[in-house]
């Protein structure tokens, strides 16, 4: 009997955690192509469809919209309350950090060349579940 109770308890805990994730990140549900095209235009929706492997979530579209704004916020360990960035500022900071790391390790590196490269990099991280987007449109790094 104890095993059955543990199983129910474990299942309930998983449900609670899943609900918590949905409350924090409600956009992680399927997004119809027509909705993505309406929000981003047919060309960009098609590009994202290819980037995300044939299916978009509402959060994928929301990330694109956030990145189109003048500034976006990122929450990470260095900035737990979030920091506002422009694409240019984020790119410059990323390139500075990359150069500093390469100087210490001796590794070669490729700098981000333009703001579109930053957008593509952030979408790649999003597709890889390294970052997520909150209901408030804040980009949040996921713990490893």
pLDDT tens digits along 17-57: 667 776 777 888 999 999 999 999 999 999 999 999 989 99
Mean pLDDT of 106-135: 91
Which is it for strands 138-141 and 83-85: parallel, antiparallel or unpaired? unpaired
**pLDDT score, position 2:** 52
Between residues 139 and 7, which one has the greater pLDDT?
Answer: 139
Location of structure tokens 């899943």 = 18
Distance CA 75, CA 133 (A): 10
Q: What is residue 4's predicted lDDT score, i.e. its pLDDT?
A: 53
Q: What is the pLDDT of residue 102?
A: 87
What pLDDT does residue 110 have? 85
Token output for 116: 């579109």
Contacts of 66 (CB under 8 A, 6+ apart): 72, 133, 137, 139
Residue 92 has pLDDT above 80, yes or no: yes
Q: Count the neighbouring beta carbons within 10 Å of the beta carbon of residue 62.
A: 21
* Residue-level pLDDT at 119: 95
Edge-to-edge strand list for the sheet holding 131-133 = 83-85, 72-75, 138-141, 131-133
pTM above 0.85, yes or no: no
| Predicted pLDDT of residue 3 | 53
Domain housing 38:
2-141
How many structural domains comprise the chain? Answer: 1
Residues 133-144, mean pLDDT to the nearest whole number:
88
Identify the burial level of 125 via C-beta atoms within 10 angstroms of its C-beta, where 0-12 means exposed, 13-18 middle and 19 or more buried.
middle
């Amino acid at each position: 009997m104890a095993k059955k109770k543990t199983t129910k308890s474990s299942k309930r805990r998983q449900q609670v955690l899943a609900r918590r994730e949905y409350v924090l990140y409600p956009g992680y549900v399927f997004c119809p192509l027509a909705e993505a095209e309406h929000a981003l235009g047919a060309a960009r929706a098609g590009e994202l469809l290819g980037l995300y492997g044939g299916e978009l979530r509402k959060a994928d579209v929301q990330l694109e919209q956030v990145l189109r704004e003048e500034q976006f916020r990122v929450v990470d360990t260095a900035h737990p309350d979030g920091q506002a960035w422009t694409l240019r500022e984020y790119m410059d900071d990323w390139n500075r950090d990359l150069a500093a790391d390469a100087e210490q390790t001796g590794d070669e590196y490729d700098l981000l060349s333009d703001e579109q490269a930053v957008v593509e990099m952030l979408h790649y991280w999003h597709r890889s579940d390294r970052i997520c987007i909150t209901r408030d449109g804040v980009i949040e790094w996921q713990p490893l």
